[in-house]
Structure 1
Amino acid sequence: MTHEDIWRALDALAAEHGLSASGLARKAGLDATAFNPSKRIGADGRARWPSTESVAKVLAATGAGFADFAALVTGAAALPRGGRPGIGRRIPLIGLAQAGGDGYFDDGGYPVGGGWDEISVPEVGDPNAYALEISGESMEPVFRDGDVVIVSPGAPVRRGDRVVVRTQRGEVMAKELKRQSARRIDLRSLNPAHPDYSFELPEIAWMHRIVWATQ
Protein backbone atom coordinates (compact mmCIF):
# COMPACT_ATOMS: atom_id res chain seq x y z
CA MET A 1 0.00 0.00 0.00
CA THR A 2 1.69 3.20 -1.15
CA HIS A 3 1.18 6.92 -0.62
CA GLU A 4 -0.25 7.20 -4.15
CA ASP A 5 -2.65 4.28 -3.53
CA ILE A 6 -4.21 5.94 -0.48
CA TRP A 7 -4.72 9.30 -2.17
CA ARG A 8 -6.08 7.60 -5.30
CA ALA A 9 -8.58 5.74 -3.13
CA LEU A 10 -9.76 8.98 -1.50
CA ASP A 11 -10.11 10.63 -4.91
CA ALA A 12 -12.07 7.63 -6.21
CA LEU A 13 -14.36 7.64 -3.18
CA ALA A 14 -15.02 11.34 -3.71
CA ALA A 15 -15.80 10.75 -7.40
CA GLU A 16 -18.21 7.90 -6.60
CA HIS A 17 -20.17 10.36 -4.45
CA GLY A 18 -20.04 13.14 -7.04
CA LEU A 19 -17.63 15.19 -4.97
CA SER A 20 -14.29 16.88 -5.44
CA ALA A 21 -11.47 16.22 -2.97
CA SER A 22 -12.44 19.46 -1.22
CA GLY A 23 -16.09 18.45 -1.17
CA LEU A 24 -15.22 15.11 0.38
CA ALA A 25 -13.18 16.83 3.09
CA ARG A 26 -16.07 19.19 3.89
CA LYS A 27 -18.56 16.29 3.97
CA ALA A 28 -16.31 14.57 6.53
CA GLY A 29 -16.16 17.70 8.69
CA LEU A 30 -12.55 18.43 7.81
CA ASP A 31 -10.86 21.57 6.54
CA ALA A 32 -11.81 22.00 2.89
CA THR A 33 -8.16 22.01 1.85
CA ALA A 34 -7.23 18.85 3.78
CA PHE A 35 -7.17 16.64 0.69
CA ASN A 36 -5.93 19.18 -1.85
CA PRO A 37 -3.05 17.96 -4.06
CA SER A 38 -0.83 20.68 -2.57
CA LYS A 39 -1.27 19.09 0.88
CA ARG A 40 -0.08 15.66 -0.25
CA ILE A 41 3.59 16.64 -0.39
CA GLY A 42 5.27 18.55 2.42
CA ALA A 43 7.41 21.65 1.99
CA ASP A 44 10.48 19.43 2.36
CA GLY A 45 9.32 17.25 -0.54
CA ARG A 46 8.37 14.30 1.65
CA ALA A 47 5.08 12.48 1.10
CA ARG A 48 2.28 13.42 3.50
CA TRP A 49 -0.28 10.75 4.39
CA PRO A 50 -3.89 11.35 5.43
CA SER A 51 -4.36 10.57 9.10
CA THR A 52 -6.28 7.47 10.16
CA GLU A 53 -8.74 9.82 11.91
CA SER A 54 -9.37 11.64 8.61
CA VAL A 55 -9.95 8.38 6.75
CA ALA A 56 -12.31 7.17 9.50
CA LYS A 57 -14.32 10.40 9.26
CA VAL A 58 -14.53 10.05 5.47
CA LEU A 59 -15.79 6.46 5.74
CA ALA A 60 -18.37 7.46 8.34
CA ALA A 61 -19.56 10.43 6.27
CA THR A 62 -19.91 8.41 3.06
CA GLY A 63 -21.25 5.22 4.59
CA ALA A 64 -18.38 3.22 3.13
CA GLY A 65 -16.77 0.36 4.99
CA PHE A 66 -13.08 -0.33 5.34
CA ALA A 67 -13.37 -3.18 2.82
CA ASP A 68 -14.83 -0.70 0.31
CA PHE A 69 -11.88 1.60 0.88
CA ALA A 70 -9.42 -1.29 0.60
CA ALA A 71 -10.93 -2.22 -2.76
CA LEU A 72 -10.44 1.34 -3.97
CA VAL A 73 -6.82 1.18 -2.85
CA THR A 74 -6.36 -1.74 -5.28
CA GLY A 75 -7.81 0.34 -8.11
CA ALA A 76 -11.16 -1.48 -8.16
CA ALA A 77 -14.56 0.19 -7.92
CA ALA A 78 -15.71 -0.49 -4.36
CA LEU A 79 -19.20 0.96 -4.47
CA PRO A 80 -22.08 0.25 -6.82
CA ARG A 81 -23.97 3.08 -8.46
CA GLY A 82 -25.89 5.08 -5.95
CA GLY A 83 -23.00 5.24 -3.49
CA ARG A 84 -24.19 2.46 -1.20
CA PRO A 85 -21.70 0.15 0.41
CA GLY A 86 -21.32 -3.17 -1.40
CA ILE A 87 -23.14 -6.17 0.01
CA GLY A 88 -21.17 -9.07 1.41
CA ARG A 89 -20.27 -12.17 -0.55
CA ARG A 90 -18.60 -15.48 0.07
CA ILE A 91 -15.06 -16.18 -1.09
CA PRO A 92 -12.84 -19.29 -0.86
CA LEU A 93 -10.87 -19.79 2.38
CA ILE A 94 -8.04 -22.13 3.38
CA GLY A 95 -5.25 -22.03 5.91
CA LEU A 96 -1.98 -20.49 4.80
CA ALA A 97 -0.22 -23.72 5.76
CA GLN A 98 -2.46 -25.65 3.34
CA ALA A 99 -1.92 -23.27 0.44
CA GLY A 100 1.34 -24.91 -0.57
CA GLY A 101 -0.42 -28.22 -1.23
CA ASP A 102 -1.47 -29.45 -4.64
CA GLY A 103 -4.95 -28.85 -6.00
CA TYR A 104 -5.77 -25.48 -4.47
CA PHE A 105 -4.54 -23.15 -7.22
CA ASP A 106 -4.31 -23.34 -10.99
CA ASP A 107 -1.18 -22.34 -12.89
CA GLY A 108 -2.25 -18.68 -12.83
CA GLY A 109 -2.66 -18.67 -9.06
CA TYR A 110 -6.48 -18.68 -9.03
CA PRO A 111 -8.31 -20.84 -6.46
CA VAL A 112 -9.62 -24.16 -7.83
CA GLY A 113 -10.85 -27.49 -6.50
CA GLY A 114 -13.27 -28.51 -3.79
CA GLY A 115 -10.93 -28.38 -0.82
CA TRP A 116 -11.68 -24.77 0.06
CA ASP A 117 -13.94 -23.59 2.84
CA GLU A 118 -15.79 -20.27 2.45
CA ILE A 119 -15.97 -17.05 4.38
CA SER A 120 -18.40 -14.14 4.19
CA VAL A 121 -16.67 -10.78 3.68
CA PRO A 122 -17.75 -7.30 2.64
CA GLU A 123 -17.74 -6.80 -1.12
CA VAL A 124 -14.27 -7.09 -2.66
CA GLY A 125 -13.76 -5.79 -6.19
CA ASP A 126 -11.75 -8.76 -7.51
CA PRO A 127 -14.00 -11.72 -8.51
CA ASN A 128 -11.02 -14.06 -7.99
CA ALA A 129 -10.27 -12.89 -4.45
CA TYR A 130 -9.64 -15.54 -1.82
CA ALA A 131 -8.89 -15.71 1.90
CA LEU A 132 -6.06 -17.30 3.88
CA GLU A 133 -6.13 -17.98 7.61
CA ILE A 134 -2.85 -17.25 9.35
CA SER A 135 -1.37 -19.85 11.68
CA GLY A 136 1.66 -19.52 13.91
CA GLU A 137 3.76 -16.48 14.77
CA SER A 138 5.89 -16.07 11.65
CA MET A 139 3.99 -12.94 10.56
CA GLU A 140 3.65 -11.21 13.92
CA PRO A 141 3.15 -8.44 14.83
CA VAL A 142 1.40 -7.55 11.54
CA PHE A 143 -0.72 -10.71 11.28
CA ARG A 144 -1.37 -13.02 14.21
CA ASP A 145 -2.52 -16.60 14.57
CA GLY A 146 -6.17 -16.81 13.50
CA ASP A 147 -6.21 -13.61 11.45
CA VAL A 148 -7.69 -13.92 7.96
CA VAL A 149 -6.16 -12.00 5.05
CA ILE A 150 -8.04 -11.23 1.85
CA VAL A 151 -5.90 -11.67 -1.25
CA SER A 152 -6.55 -10.17 -4.69
CA PRO A 153 -4.85 -11.83 -7.68
CA GLY A 154 -5.96 -8.93 -9.89
CA ALA A 155 -4.60 -6.09 -7.76
CA PRO A 156 -1.43 -4.33 -8.94
CA VAL A 157 1.61 -5.04 -6.78
CA ARG A 158 4.06 -2.32 -5.85
CA ARG A 159 7.08 -2.02 -3.58
CA GLY A 160 6.03 -1.95 0.05
CA ASP A 161 2.87 -4.01 -0.51
CA ARG A 162 2.17 -7.07 1.61
CA VAL A 163 1.91 -10.04 -0.67
CA VAL A 164 1.35 -13.78 -0.78
CA VAL A 165 3.99 -15.52 -2.88
CA ARG A 166 4.11 -19.08 -4.15
CA THR A 167 7.40 -20.46 -5.41
CA GLN A 168 7.80 -23.05 -8.12
CA ARG A 169 8.75 -25.50 -5.36
CA GLY A 170 5.32 -25.09 -3.77
CA GLU A 171 6.31 -22.85 -0.85
CA VAL A 172 3.67 -20.24 0.03
CA MET A 173 4.60 -17.27 2.19
CA ALA A 174 3.21 -13.88 3.20
CA LYS A 175 5.84 -11.16 3.01
CA GLU A 176 6.39 -7.51 2.10
CA LEU A 177 7.68 -6.75 -1.39
CA LYS A 178 10.96 -4.99 -0.71
CA ARG A 179 12.14 -4.65 -4.32
CA GLN A 180 11.41 -6.06 -7.74
CA SER A 181 13.68 -5.84 -10.76
CA ALA A 182 13.58 -7.41 -14.20
CA ARG A 183 15.39 -10.47 -12.83
CA ARG A 184 14.52 -10.96 -9.18
CA ILE A 185 12.33 -10.02 -6.25
CA ASP A 186 13.39 -9.28 -2.68
CA LEU A 187 10.92 -10.01 0.11
CA ARG A 188 10.98 -8.68 3.67
CA SER A 189 9.65 -10.87 6.47
CA LEU A 190 6.86 -9.29 8.50
CA ASN A 191 8.31 -10.77 11.68
CA PRO A 192 11.81 -9.35 12.19
CA ALA A 193 12.83 -12.61 13.89
CA HIS A 194 12.48 -14.40 10.54
CA PRO A 195 14.85 -14.03 7.56
CA ASP A 196 14.20 -12.05 4.40
CA TYR A 197 14.14 -13.85 1.04
CA SER A 198 15.38 -13.16 -2.45
CA PHE A 199 14.30 -15.08 -5.57
CA GLU A 200 15.08 -15.09 -9.24
CA LEU A 201 11.84 -14.37 -11.13
CA PRO A 202 11.72 -17.88 -12.72
CA GLU A 203 11.59 -19.29 -9.18
CA ILE A 204 8.24 -17.53 -8.52
CA ALA A 205 4.98 -19.14 -9.64
CA TRP A 206 2.84 -16.13 -8.70
CA MET A 207 2.62 -13.16 -6.35
CA HIS A 208 -0.70 -11.72 -5.14
CA ARG A 209 -1.44 -8.64 -3.09
CA ILE A 210 -3.03 -8.70 0.38
CA VAL A 211 -5.76 -6.06 0.29
CA TRP A 212 -7.49 -6.51 3.63
CA ALA A 213 -7.25 -8.38 6.94
CA THR A 214 -9.81 -9.34 9.55
CA GLN A 215 -8.14 -8.89 12.90
Structure 2
Amino acid sequence: MLKHTDIWRAIDRLAAQHGLSASGLARRAGLDPTTFNKSKRTTSDGKLRWPSTESISKVLDATGASLSEFVSLVGDGAGTTPLQRVPVIGYAQAGSAGYFDDAGFPAGSGWDELLFPSLGDPHAYALEISGDSMEPVYRDGDTIIVSPAAQIRRNDRVVVRTKGGEVMAKQLIRETATRIELLSINRAHPDRSIPLSEVAWMARIIWASQ
Protein backbone atom coordinates (compact mmCIF):
# COMPACT_ATOMS: atom_id res chain seq x y z
CA MET A 1 0.00 0.00 0.00
CA LEU A 2 1.30 3.44 -0.90
CA LYS A 3 2.17 5.29 2.30
CA HIS A 4 2.24 8.93 3.28
CA THR A 5 5.98 8.74 3.99
CA ASP A 6 6.63 7.15 0.57
CA ILE A 7 5.34 10.17 -1.33
CA TRP A 8 7.16 12.71 0.83
CA ARG A 9 10.37 10.68 0.57
CA ALA A 10 10.10 10.75 -3.23
CA ILE A 11 9.69 14.55 -3.16
CA ASP A 12 12.77 14.91 -0.94
CA ARG A 13 14.81 12.63 -3.21
CA LEU A 14 13.70 14.48 -6.34
CA ALA A 15 14.78 17.75 -4.73
CA ALA A 16 18.15 16.26 -3.77
CA GLN A 17 18.72 15.00 -7.32
CA HIS A 18 18.50 18.59 -8.51
CA GLY A 19 20.64 20.02 -5.71
CA LEU A 20 17.65 21.60 -4.02
CA SER A 21 16.03 21.61 -0.64
CA ALA A 22 12.34 20.79 -0.41
CA SER A 23 11.70 24.55 -0.21
CA GLY A 24 13.88 25.16 -3.25
CA LEU A 25 11.99 22.53 -5.21
CA ALA A 26 8.67 24.13 -4.31
CA ARG A 27 9.98 27.55 -5.35
CA ARG A 28 11.24 26.23 -8.70
CA ALA A 29 7.80 24.75 -9.36
CA GLY A 30 6.14 28.10 -8.71
CA LEU A 31 4.65 26.99 -5.40
CA ASP A 32 4.76 28.64 -2.00
CA PRO A 33 8.27 27.84 -0.67
CA THR A 34 6.78 26.27 2.47
CA THR A 35 4.57 23.82 0.53
CA PHE A 36 6.88 20.85 1.14
CA ASN A 37 8.24 21.83 4.55
CA LYS A 38 8.25 19.01 7.08
CA SER A 39 6.01 21.08 9.33
CA LYS A 40 3.37 21.02 6.56
CA ARG A 41 3.30 17.22 6.32
CA THR A 42 1.05 16.81 9.33
CA THR A 43 -1.60 19.08 10.76
CA SER A 44 -1.40 20.56 14.25
CA ASP A 45 -3.57 17.73 15.55
CA GLY A 46 -1.35 15.06 13.99
CA LYS A 47 -3.45 14.28 10.91
CA LEU A 48 -1.41 13.26 7.87
CA ARG A 49 -1.34 15.83 5.07
CA TRP A 50 -0.62 14.53 1.56
CA PRO A 51 0.89 16.62 -1.24
CA SER A 52 -1.71 17.51 -3.84
CA THR A 53 -1.58 15.98 -7.29
CA GLU A 54 -1.42 19.53 -8.66
CA SER A 55 1.75 20.30 -6.68
CA ILE A 56 3.36 17.03 -7.78
CA SER A 57 2.43 17.79 -11.38
CA LYS A 58 4.11 21.20 -11.14
CA VAL A 59 7.21 19.64 -9.62
CA LEU A 60 7.46 17.10 -12.43
CA ASP A 61 7.06 19.84 -15.02
CA ALA A 62 9.68 22.01 -13.32
CA THR A 63 12.25 19.22 -13.12
CA GLY A 64 11.42 17.44 -16.37
CA ALA A 65 10.86 14.21 -14.45
CA SER A 66 8.27 11.69 -15.60
CA LEU A 67 5.74 10.02 -13.33
CA SER A 68 7.67 6.75 -13.70
CA GLU A 69 10.86 8.49 -12.57
CA PHE A 70 9.03 9.95 -9.59
CA VAL A 71 7.67 6.52 -8.69
CA SER A 72 11.19 5.07 -8.84
CA LEU A 73 12.15 7.42 -6.01
CA VAL A 74 9.59 5.87 -3.70
CA GLY A 75 11.18 3.47 -1.23
CA ASP A 76 12.36 3.04 2.33
CA GLY A 77 16.09 3.18 1.67
CA ALA A 78 16.51 -0.55 2.24
CA GLY A 79 15.06 -1.39 -1.13
CA THR A 80 12.25 -0.07 -3.22
CA THR A 81 8.57 -0.32 -2.52
CA PRO A 82 7.05 -3.23 -4.48
CA LEU A 83 5.75 -2.07 -7.82
CA GLN A 84 2.52 -3.10 -9.46
CA ARG A 85 1.72 -3.25 -13.16
CA VAL A 86 -1.40 -1.19 -13.73
CA PRO A 87 -3.29 -1.60 -17.01
CA VAL A 88 -4.03 1.66 -18.83
CA ILE A 89 -7.40 1.93 -20.55
CA GLY A 90 -8.59 4.73 -22.80
CA TYR A 91 -11.55 6.64 -21.40
CA ALA A 92 -13.59 5.98 -24.54
CA GLN A 93 -12.78 2.26 -24.34
CA ALA A 94 -14.13 2.11 -20.78
CA GLY A 95 -17.66 2.54 -22.07
CA SER A 96 -17.40 -0.20 -24.68
CA ALA A 97 -18.64 -3.72 -24.15
CA GLY A 98 -16.06 -6.32 -23.18
CA TYR A 99 -13.54 -4.07 -21.46
CA PHE A 100 -14.77 -4.79 -17.92
CA ASP A 101 -16.31 -7.77 -16.22
CA ASP A 102 -19.45 -7.59 -14.07
CA ALA A 103 -17.41 -6.65 -11.00
CA GLY A 104 -15.82 -3.65 -12.71
CA PHE A 105 -12.42 -5.29 -13.20
CA PRO A 106 -10.56 -4.83 -16.51
CA ALA A 107 -11.16 -7.82 -18.77
CA GLY A 108 -8.80 -9.33 -21.31
CA SER A 109 -5.14 -8.52 -21.82
CA GLY A 110 -2.80 -6.58 -24.09
CA TRP A 111 -3.28 -3.27 -22.31
CA ASP A 112 -0.60 -0.65 -22.08
CA GLU A 113 0.79 -0.67 -18.56
CA LEU A 114 2.45 1.66 -16.11
CA LEU A 115 4.43 0.77 -12.99
CA PHE A 116 3.10 2.13 -9.73
CA PRO A 117 3.85 1.48 -6.05
CA SER A 118 1.74 -1.42 -4.83
CA LEU A 119 -1.81 -0.20 -4.30
CA GLY A 120 -3.13 -3.13 -2.30
CA ASP A 121 -5.59 -3.83 -5.09
CA PRO A 122 -4.52 -6.20 -7.87
CA HIS A 123 -7.48 -5.03 -9.96
CA ALA A 124 -6.53 -1.32 -9.91
CA TYR A 125 -6.29 0.25 -13.36
CA ALA A 126 -5.64 3.59 -15.01
CA LEU A 127 -7.92 5.58 -17.28
CA GLU A 128 -6.60 8.11 -19.79
CA ILE A 129 -8.85 11.15 -19.73
CA SER A 130 -10.16 12.51 -23.02
CA GLY A 131 -12.25 15.61 -23.52
CA ASP A 132 -12.99 18.50 -21.18
CA SER A 133 -15.88 17.16 -19.11
CA MET A 134 -13.72 16.93 -15.97
CA GLU A 135 -11.78 20.17 -16.22
CA PRO A 136 -10.25 21.89 -14.35
CA VAL A 137 -9.44 18.98 -12.02
CA TYR A 138 -8.68 16.39 -14.73
CA ARG A 139 -7.67 17.53 -18.19
CA ASP A 140 -7.44 15.87 -21.57
CA GLY A 141 -4.44 13.52 -21.50
CA ASP A 142 -4.31 13.13 -17.70
CA THR A 143 -4.24 9.64 -16.22
CA ILE A 144 -6.31 8.66 -13.21
CA ILE A 145 -5.82 5.48 -11.22
CA VAL A 146 -8.96 3.72 -10.06
CA SER A 147 -9.26 1.09 -7.34
CA PRO A 148 -12.36 -1.14 -7.40
CA ALA A 149 -11.38 -2.44 -3.93
CA ALA A 150 -11.06 0.97 -2.26
CA GLN A 151 -13.77 1.92 0.20
CA ILE A 152 -15.93 4.74 -1.13
CA ARG A 153 -17.00 7.55 1.16
CA ARG A 154 -19.10 10.63 0.69
CA ASN A 155 -17.31 13.36 -1.32
CA ASP A 156 -14.84 10.89 -2.86
CA ARG A 157 -14.14 11.26 -6.56
CA VAL A 158 -15.32 8.17 -8.37
CA VAL A 159 -15.68 6.59 -11.78
CA VAL A 160 -19.15 5.26 -12.49
CA ARG A 161 -20.20 3.01 -15.34
CA THR A 162 -23.86 2.58 -16.11
CA LYS A 163 -25.36 -0.63 -17.48
CA GLY A 164 -25.93 1.30 -20.69
CA GLY A 165 -22.16 1.76 -21.12
CA GLU A 166 -21.86 5.41 -20.05
CA VAL A 167 -18.69 6.14 -18.07
CA MET A 168 -18.27 9.26 -15.98
CA ALA A 169 -15.92 10.65 -13.33
CA LYS A 170 -17.81 12.59 -10.69
CA GLN A 171 -17.83 13.39 -6.98
CA LEU A 172 -20.10 11.20 -4.87
CA ILE A 173 -22.38 13.43 -2.84
CA ARG A 174 -24.86 10.90 -1.53
CA GLU A 175 -25.72 7.24 -1.82
CA THR A 176 -29.09 5.94 -0.69
CA ALA A 177 -30.66 2.51 -0.86
CA THR A 178 -32.02 3.31 -4.31
CA ARG A 179 -29.75 5.83 -6.08
CA ILE A 180 -26.49 7.76 -6.13
CA GLU A 181 -26.17 11.54 -6.31
CA LEU A 182 -23.14 12.76 -8.25
CA LEU A 183 -21.60 16.22 -8.50
CA SER A 184 -19.97 17.12 -11.81
CA ILE A 185 -16.32 18.10 -11.46
CA ASN A 186 -16.71 20.51 -14.36
CA ARG A 187 -19.54 22.81 -13.26
CA ALA A 188 -20.45 23.45 -16.89
CA HIS A 189 -21.79 19.89 -16.96
CA PRO A 190 -24.93 18.77 -15.15
CA ASP A 191 -24.93 16.86 -11.88
CA ARG A 192 -26.39 13.38 -12.03
CA SER A 193 -28.80 11.31 -9.99
CA ILE A 194 -28.68 7.67 -11.07
CA PRO A 195 -30.82 4.77 -9.83
CA LEU A 196 -28.67 2.01 -8.37
CA SER A 197 -30.47 -0.40 -10.67
CA GLU A 198 -28.75 1.36 -13.59
CA VAL A 199 -25.24 1.36 -12.08
CA ALA A 200 -22.95 -1.39 -13.35
CA TRP A 201 -20.15 -0.43 -10.95
CA MET A 202 -18.57 2.47 -9.10
CA ALA A 203 -14.90 2.72 -8.08
CA ARG A 204 -12.84 5.35 -6.25
CA ILE A 205 -10.19 7.48 -7.93
CA ILE A 206 -7.07 7.14 -5.78
CA TRP A 207 -4.45 8.97 -7.87
CA ALA A 208 -4.15 11.39 -10.74
CA SER A 209 -0.99 11.96 -12.76
CA GLN A 210 -1.69 15.47 -13.94
TM-score normalized with structure 2 length:
0.65
CA contact (8 A) 1:104 1:116 kept: no
CA contact (8 A) 1:104 1:115 kept: no
Deviation at 1:107, TM superposition (A): 0.5
**Residue of 174, 181, 186 corresponding to 2:181:** 186
Aligned length: 162
CA distance in 2, matches of 1:157, 1:200: 17
Deviation at 1:116, TM superposition (A): 2.6
**Structure 1 residues 98 and 36 mapped into 2: Cα distance closer, same or farther (>3 Å)?**
same
**Residue of 146, 156, 160 corresponding to 2:155:** 160
Listed one character per residue, the Cα deviations across residues 157-178 of structure 1 (whole Å, up to 9, x for unaligned) are 0111110001111111111101
Deviation at 1:111, TM superposition (A): 0.7
Pairs within 5 Å for 1:59-208? 85-114=80-109, 116-208=111-203
Query: Match of 1:99, SS?
Result: helix
- Give identity over the alignment, percent: 54
Listed one character per residue, the Cα deviations across residues 2-58 of structure 1 (whole Å, up to 9, x for unaligned) are xxxxxxx76xx69xxxxxxxxxxxxx8549xx6564x66xxxxxxxx84859xx9xx
CA distance in 2, matches of 1:84, 1:115: 30
Q: Which runs of 5+ in 2 are unaligned?
A: 7-36, 57-68
* Corresponding letter in the other structure for 2:168: M
Corresponding residue number in structure 2 for 1:210:
205
CA distance in 2, matches of 1:35, 1:107: 41
Let me know the Cα RMSD of the aligned residues.
3.3
**Structure 1 residues 51 and 161 mapped into 2: Cα distance closer, same or farther (>3 Å)?**
closer
Listed one character per residue, the Cα deviations across residues 158-210 of structure 1 (whole Å, up to 9, x for unaligned) are 11111000111111111110111121110011101000000111111110000
Corresponding residue number in structure 2 for 1:21:
none
**Structure 1 residues 203 and 36 mapped into 2: Cα distance closer, same or farther (>3 Å)?**
same
**Structure 1 residues 29 and 205 mapped into 2: Cα distance closer, same or farther (>3 Å)?**
closer
CA distance in 2, matches of 1:152, 1:112: 15
CA distance in 2, matches of 1:210, 1:83: 30
TM-score normalized with structure 1 length:
0.64
Shift >6 Å, 4+ stretches: none
Deviation at 1:89, TM superposition (A): 3.0
Query: Match of 2:115, SS?
Result: strand
